[in-house]
Amino acid sequence: MDISDILLQLGSLFLSAFFAATILPAQSEIVLAVLHASQQYNVWLLVLVATTGNVLGAVVNWLLGRYLIHFQDRPWFPISHTSLKKAEVFYHKYGVWTLLLAWVPFIGDPLTMIAGILRVHIVLFLVLVTIGKCLRYAGLVTFI
């Protein structure tokens, strides 16, 4: 396999993981499973690439939450004032530790966006989200 094939395949894994962490549809688990099954890559390289892409996608959500809040009084704002208050109560009750669940389908994306809205410090955000997402991908390749 030449370098262009390697970059294409790892790039596909990175992009699928990135988009899977945003509102765009993607299935990084399938790409990871296929590449892992090919036995052409070190398993930890695959976990690293997938985790990096997925965490960077979560950062996009954090940034959207962080800066979209300035438009909360506009009619097109996607989160109602009531929902925002509920999210604040949830975060105050369970804390930022919920970001360890940022990998969970359907709830992970809103969690990362709400973290931006509530101004969770980016370093803490990165640490918690990375731990959760890395453990998810490591678990996936362990049980494939």
Neighbours of 72 (CB within 10 A): 13
pLDDT higher than threshold 80 for residue 78: no
Band the pLDDT of 79: cuts 50, 70, 90. low
Give the distance, in angstroms, between the CA of residue 16 and the centroid of all CA atoms in the same chain: 11
pLDDT higher than threshold 80 for residue 73: yes
Start-to-end Cα distance in the chain:
23
pLDDT higher than threshold 70 for residue 143: yes
**3-60: pLDDT as tens digits:** 999 999 999 999 999 999 986 777 899 999 999 999 999 999 999 999 999 999 999 9
For residue 12, the model assigns a pLDDT of: 96
| Mean pLDDT within 76-94 | 74
- Reported pTM: 0.88
